[in-house]
Amino acid sequence: MNLVEESALKWAEISHGMKSEMGVEGCYLCEVFYDDDCHGCPVAKEANDIFCDSTPYETWVNHIRREHYGHYRDLNGRSIQCPECQRIAIMEVLFLCSLGS
């Protein structure tokens, strides 16, 4: 499995409330590309920017900040889920899958 596929799988798990990691620490692609300002990252290339701007991830972050006060985990460490969280996470899965085609 390559990094994009691993990232898509992670976001599929987030969409089902099975994972709550997000951001640089929880991203397989960021682990490889972030320290080099995202050079070579297929997401940054597609977004024509760094830091996942203009992708569903940016929409996710804005939603979490606005609707969940910046918390993407509840007090027990479980992923916070609402229908919009799920919809955006699925958009991220589809976005990532489109990078491989």
pLDDT at 43 over 90: yes
pLDDT in tens, 49-96: 778 888 999 998 888 888 877 666 654 555 667 889 889 999 999 999
Contact 31, 5 (CB under 8 A): no
Domain positions in the chain are: 3-99
Looking at residue 80, the DSSP 8-state letter turns out to be P
How far, CA to CA in Å, does 94 sit from each of 7, 31, 35, 50? 11, 21, 25, 19
pTM, rounded to two decimals: 0.85
Task: Note the pLDDT of residue 24.
Answer: 80
